[in-house]
Amino acid sequence: MKTEFSLAQLADPDIQEADKILRACVHCGFCTATCPTYVLLGDELDSPRGRIYLIKQMLEKDEKPTADVVKHIDRCLSCLACMTTCPSGVNYMHLVDQARVRVERDYSRPLVERALRKVLSLVLPRPDLFRYSMWLARLGRPFADLLPSPGPGSVSPTLFSRIKAMLALAPRHLPPPGPAPGSVFPAEGERRGRVALMQGCAQQVLAPRINQAAINVLTRHGIEVVLVKDEQCCGALTHHMGDDHDALARARANVAAWGREAEQGGLDAILMTTSGCGTVVKDYGYLLREDRDCAAAAAQISRLAKDVSEYLAGIELKPSGRMGDVKVAYHAACSLQHGQKITLAPKELLSKTGFVVKDVPESHLCCGSAGTYNILQPELAGRLRDRKVANIASVEPDMIAAGNIGCMVQIASGTSVPVVHTIELLDWATGGPRPALN
């Protein structure tokens, strides 16, 4: 694609990067077929190619984005299915991330929407605040049905539809908190490795059992696990809302905290059980590339970052041989399959430990969770969830496994089939407890 940035614009490293990405696009349109919003809406401007054009114009003209441009960028899930499909290697992720920062900087959203986004970016990355907000949501839940719904077929979110979506996603019960930051879990038997396990923010409130399962599996197989003190939210939530100031501050804090731990105790890897976090931590090296004080350390942290399934694929697991014929539908989280290109490891681990693994039709399509998407775009997210749940039901599973808490909550809100994390099944299959089912 031909671009027309001025020399002055190209002096900005972000514009240089955008120019490189835009020039790689040959506007073939292959990506449209796998884009969830294009599949649902059939509008070119809700496809990757259409959005690339909109972003190109916005950056080249250096004008404030219009409400229409913002609408189509907001509807993008950042699922990155387009990157998997693109034959030209277009890095849509870095382009749309830049566009979101530009939108937040130059576009004035309606006051109510600004307030809602502010609340989400304040609450979601802070486990204590998030816990209180879940208690409040439980109180508000019985009143959700009194709120007006948008007209049938509408895909335009309203404040009420967003509040309804938030209340619907709040769990009925909250488990007690998991182990404290700074805890160390020694390896059983001879120590074969040492890893940091990222504690996550929403996940540690909603389902601390997931990281407990990871600790069980890792220590059982000779790996010492540390929960690093001073670790923060990875920054993914605010990054995807265009608040790079907050996201980069969190990234720097994590690079420092994990770097200290690696120096003092040694780390073979930094593991994530939430693939949405993993995709962003693996990108710290890029995000902080212009920060002279932090770039090299950030790149090193990105090299150490691994999804828990990716790490376990290099270890011989010892199954207890008692799984029988439990049929598991494996839901591939977008951040794992498109963001990190990890497609086989989770399924192979489940098969090797005795589960019957079923692929889900249209597995490339997002479930609609996508960070805060199911709150900010509840109508589109609901349609994607229903489609995902119907596809999962077609393989008649006993359980659904996923590697990302956002997907687990989203899918569980539309099905009675138990939804668990892949690591919970691996724990069960190697001698741990049966997962606590929803």
Two tokens at 114? Answer: 């600004």
Q: How far is the CB of 96 from ligand SF4 (least distance, A)?
A: 7
Length of the chain: 438
The CB-of-85 to ligand SF4 minimum distance in angstroms stands at 6
HSE of 142, CA atoms in CB hemisphere, 13 A = 1
In angstroms, what is the minimal distance from the CB of 277 to ligand SF4? 18
> How remote is the C-alpha of 12 from its chain's centroid?
29
Give me the phi and psi of 356, to 5 degrees please: -90, 110
State the nearest-atom distance from the C-beta of 385 to ligand SF4, in Å.
15
Structure tokens at 82: 């387009």
Say whether residue 80 binds ligand SF4 (CB under 6 A).
Answer: yes
- Return the range that interacts with ligand SF4 (CB under 6 A); candidates 31-39, 63-71, 306-314, 377-385: 31-39
Q: Tell me the H-state helices in 323-429.
A: 334, 345-352, 373-376, 378-393, 405-412, 422-429
Distance separating alpha carbons of residues 399 and 328, to the nearest angstrom: 5
Of 18, 40, 58, 82, the residue at the interface with ligand SF4 (CB under 6 A) is 82
Q: How far apart are CA 275 and CA 403, in angstroms?
A: 6
> Read out DSSP for 197-252?
E---SHHHHH-HHHHHHHHHHHHHTTEEEE--TT----SHHHHTTT-HHHHHHHHH
Residues 85-124 that bind ligand SF4 (CB under 6 A): 85-86, 88, 90, 92
Please count the other Cβ atoms lying within 10 Å of the Cβ belonging to residue 321: 9
Judge whether 394 and 361 are in contact, CB under 8 Å: yes
CB closer to ligand SF4 out of 275 and 438: 275
Judged by CB under 6 A, the stretch of 28-36, 272-280, 283-291, 396-404 that binds ligand SF4 is 28-36
Which is nearer to ligand SF4, 304 or 407 (by Cβ)?
407
The two structure tokens encoding residue 316? 């011989």
Contact assessment for residue 383 and residue 40, using Cβ atoms and an 8 Å cutoff: yes
Binding of ligand SF4 by 278 (CB under 6 A): no
Please give the backbone phi and psi of residue 420, each rounded to the nearest 5 degrees, phi first.
-130, 165
Q: Please provide residue 10's backbone torsions phi and psi, each rounded to the nearest 5 degrees.
A: -70, -10
Report how far residue 123's alpha carbon sits from residue 377's, in angstroms, rounded to the nearest whole number: 18
Binding piece for ligand SF4, criterion CB under 6 A, among 80-88, 147-155, 221-229, 296-304? 80-88
Which of 27, 114, 192, 327 binds ligand SF4 (CB under 6 A)? It is: 27
- Total residues contacting ligand SF4 by CB under 6 A comes to 25
Q: How far is the CB of 71 from ligand SF4 (least distance, A)?
A: 13
- Residue 377 CB, nearest approach to ligand SF4 (Å): 10
- Smaller CB separation from ligand SF4, 194 or 364: 364
Instruction: Find the shortest distance in angstroms from Cβ 191 to ligand SF4.
Output: 41
User: How many Å is the maximal CA-CA distance in the chain?
Assistant: 65
Q: How far apart are CA 425 and CA 110, in angstroms?
A: 45
Does residue number 76 form part of the binding site for ligand SF4 (CB under 6 A)?
yes
The structure tokens 């502010």 sit at 118
Q: Rounded to the nearest whole angstrom, what is the least distance from the CB of residue 244 to ligand SF4 in the complex?
A: 18
Q: Of 75-83, 210-218, 232-240, 396-404, which part binds ligand SF4 (CB under 6 A)?
A: 75-83
Q: With contacts defined by CB under 6 A, name the span among 46-54, 185-193, 278-286, 317-325 that binds ligand SF4.
A: 46-54
Check binding of 251 to ligand SF4 (CB under 6 A). Answer: no
Q: How far is the CB of 93 from ligand SF4 (least distance, A)?
A: 8
**Nearest in space to 329 (alpha carbons), one of 306, 307, 362, 371:** 362
Residue of 15, 49, 330, 414 interacting with ligand SF4 (CB under 6 A)? 49
Nearer to ligand SF4, 32 or 254 (CB): 32
Select 27 or 191, whichever has its Cβ closest to ligand SF4.
Answer: 27
Does the protein bind ligand SF4 through residue 29 (CB under 6 A)? yes
Judged by CB under 6 A, which of 69, 79, 328, 402 binds ligand SF4?
A: 79
Phi, psi of 298 (to 5 degrees): -65, -40
Using CB under 6 A, list all residues that contact ligand SF4.
25-31, 35-37, 48-49, 51, 76-82, 85-86, 88, 90, 92
